[in-house]
């Protein structure tokens, strides 16, 4: 658990992050529909180090600020004001979630080999769990990739898809199903696989509407991929438990980053409606526009509130926080999409053109209702928990 940060220190970091994003990063944004180049990533991360805002969530021993979970949101919202801001600060998915998990369960040797270079921005990583149908997707229990015990280590065999960041990653954290063996329960195991392992192949990219995640979303294959026993992350057979260690905070950081982009979108729209006159008055003075603006503000503020509550709960009661993170994920992904869509409407024709970046922002946030578990899957889980809780309360 990270040490609490003084409120004054946190506010100073937030203001420095705000200035860095708006003064340095925004000017370096790729054109709508294009990706940030690797050279640009490295340049921006060097500038972030110089500005003292790099790696806000990473451990201090590797050059980060080691912010506790309840302090993440103000910083990640400022970073998310630009689609490439989290990458510049090295708090972008999937590296951010991988760093969090590695920091909690990796061995000292694994921390040096895998966590340190990712935290410093010298290497990217990926998390290989999702599989082609009928394998694991929104239902992790459908996991088909196998890890089999052999002399000196493990053999991994299986197909993965939609592995964000895999192209160019230095390693993958692979979720694979394992049978019961000596001292290992039947279940799932997480294994660290270097990208130059001959048994691992990065395949074709799945071309999606979002562009912010470096390395895209390709297929990844494992064919008799051998790793030694030191590659096991945590304990063998406990992969599903560790997945929750990663996934609950990771889905919440998505909410934080995209909420920053919703704030950027509303700023763009407000600048437009304050300046443009239609039917004899600024758009901002028209009642129908005011209703749209008010609803956007409400969506932003309610999203901010549930993020803050969930982050505090993850720090004090991780199990309850993980449950609430499902609520936060569904609410924020819906609300953020509504905000940006509303901002496009307020900006008219320019909103759906490359004259403004709003349409590309909508492309970035739309997949969030599917990524990290579809909203429908989360709603199913939310409803089941609510019904069971009520049964216990009246028993």
Give per-residue pLDDT as tens, 40-66.
999 999 999 999 999 999 999 999 999
Q: Is 17 exposed, middle or buried (0-12, 13-18, 19+ CB in 10 A)?
A: buried
CB neighbour list of residue 265: distance below 8 Å, 6 or more residues apart: 339, 340, 343, 358, 361
240-394 folds as Butyryl-CoA Dehydrogenase, subunit A; domain 3 (1.20.140)
Distance CA 192, CA 175 (A): 9
Phi then psi for residue 238, to 5 deg, are -115, 25
| Mean of all residue pLDDT scores within the chain | 96
C-alpha closest to that of 191 among 159, 145, 236 = 236
CA 191 to mean position of chain CA atoms: 21
Element containing residue 322 per DSSP (H, E): helix 318-346
- We find that the CATH architecture of domain 7-119 is Orthogonal Bundle (1.10)
Cis peptide, bond prior to residue 134, ω within 30 of zero? yes
If DSSP codes are grouped into helix, strand and coil, which group holds residue 336? helix
Tell me what pLDDT residue 3 has.
Answer: 80
Tell me what pLDDT residue 1 has.
Answer: 55
DSSP sequence for 258-313: HHHHHHHHHHHHHHHHHH-EETTEEGGGSHHHHHHHHHHHHHHHHHHHHHHHHHHH
Tell me what pLDDT residue 140 has.
Answer: 87
Tell me what pLDDT residue 119 has.
Answer: 98
Element containing residue 319 per DSSP (H, E): helix 318-346
DSSP sequence for 352-390: TSTTSSHHHHHHHHGGGGTTTS-HHHHHHHHHHHHHHHH
Report the pLDDT averaged over residues 381-391.
Answer: 97
Query: Where in the chain are the domains?
Result: 7-119, 125-239, 240-394
Tell me what pLDDT residue 182 has.
Answer: 77
DSSP sequence for 1-69: -PPP--HHHHHHHHHHHHHHIIIIIGGGPPPTTPPPPHHHHHHHHHHHHHHT-S-SSS-GGGT-----G
Q: How confident is the model at residue 231 (pLDDT cuts 50, 70, 90)?
A: very high
Phi then psi for residue 187, to 5 deg, are 165, -135
C-alpha closest to that of 310 among 263, 267, 259, 255 = 255
Distance CA 40, CA 390 (A): 52
Superfamily of domain 125-239: Butyryl-CoA Dehydrogenase, subunit A, domain 2 (2.40.110.10)
Give per-residue pLDDT as tens, 316-345.
999 999 999 999 999 999 999 999 999 999
Q: How confident is the model at residue 256 (pLDDT cuts 50, 70, 90)?
A: very high
Give per-residue pLDDT as tens, 127-169.
999 999 999 988 888 999 999 999 999 999 999 999 999 999 9
Report the pLDDT averaged over residues 190-200.
Answer: 98
Strand partners, 175: 190
- How many helices (H) and strands (E) would you count in the chain? 13, 10
Give per-residue pLDDT as tens, 200-214.
999 999 999 999 999
Distance CA 300, CA 339 (A): 8
Reading the block at residue 359, the tokens are 């349409």
Report the pLDDT averaged over residues 357-374.
Answer: 96
Give per-residue pLDDT as tens, 375-384.
999 999 999 9
Reading the block at residue 68, the tokens are 């506790």
* Cβ atoms of 276 and 307 closer than 8 Å: no
Tell me what pLDDT residue 298 has.
Answer: 98
Q: Is 28 exposed, middle or buried (0-12, 13-18, 19+ CB in 10 A)?
A: middle
CB neighbour list of residue 89: distance below 8 Å, 6 or more residues apart: 17, 45, 48, 53, 54, 55, 56, 75, 79
Distance CA 161, CA 178 (A): 20
Reading the block at residue 395, the tokens are 């028993």
């Amino acid at each position: 658990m990270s040490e609490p940060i003084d409120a004054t220190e946190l506010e100073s970091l937030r203001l420095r992050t705000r200035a860095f994003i708006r003064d340095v990063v925004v000017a370096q944004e790729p054109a709508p529909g294009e990706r940030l180049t690797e050279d640009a990533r490295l340049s921006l991360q060097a500038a972030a180090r110089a500005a003292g805002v790099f790696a806000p969530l990473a451990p201090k021993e590797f050059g980060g600020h080691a912010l506790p979970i309840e302090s993440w949101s103000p910083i990640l919202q400022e970073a998310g004001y630009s689609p490439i801001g989290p990458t510049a600060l090295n708090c972008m998915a999937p590296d951010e979630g991988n760093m969090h998990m590695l920091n909690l369960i990796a061995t000292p040797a694994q921390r040096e080999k895998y966590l340190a270079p990712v935290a410093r921005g010298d290497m990217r990583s990926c998390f290989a769990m999702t599989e082609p149908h009928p394998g694991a997707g929104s239902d992790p229990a459908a996991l088909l990739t196998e890890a089999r015990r052999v002399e000196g280590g493990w053999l991994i065999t299986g197909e993965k898809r939609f592995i964000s960041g895999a192209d160019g990653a230095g390693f993958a954290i692979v979720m694979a199903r394992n049978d019961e063996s000596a001292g290992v329960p039947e279940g799932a195991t997480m294994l660290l696989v270097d990208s130059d392992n001959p048994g691992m192949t990065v395949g074709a990219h799945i071309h999606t509407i979002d562009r912010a995640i470096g390395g895209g979303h390709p297929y990844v294959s494992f064919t008799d991929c051998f790793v030694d026993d030191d590659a096991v992350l945590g304990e063998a057979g406990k992969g599903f438990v560790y997945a929750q260690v990663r996934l609950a905070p990771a889905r919440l950081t998505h909410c934080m980053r995209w909420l920053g982009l919703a704030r950027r979108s509303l700023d763009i729209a407000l600048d437009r409606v304050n300046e443009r006159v239609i039917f004899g008055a600024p758009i901002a003075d028209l009642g129908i526009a005011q209703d749209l603006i008010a609803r956007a503000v409400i969506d932003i503020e309610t999203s901010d509130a549930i993020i803050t509550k969930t982050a505090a709960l993850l720090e004090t009661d991780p199990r309850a926080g993980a449950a609430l993170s499902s609520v936060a994920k569904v609410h924020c992904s819906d609300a953020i999409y509504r905000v940006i869509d509303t901002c496009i409407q307020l900006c008219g024709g320019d909103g759906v053109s490359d004259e403004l970046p709003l349409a590309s922002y909508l492309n970035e946030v739309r997949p969030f209702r599917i990524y990290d578990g579809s909203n429908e899957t989360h709603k199913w889980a939310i409803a089941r928990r609510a019904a069971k809780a009520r049964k216990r309360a009246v028993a």
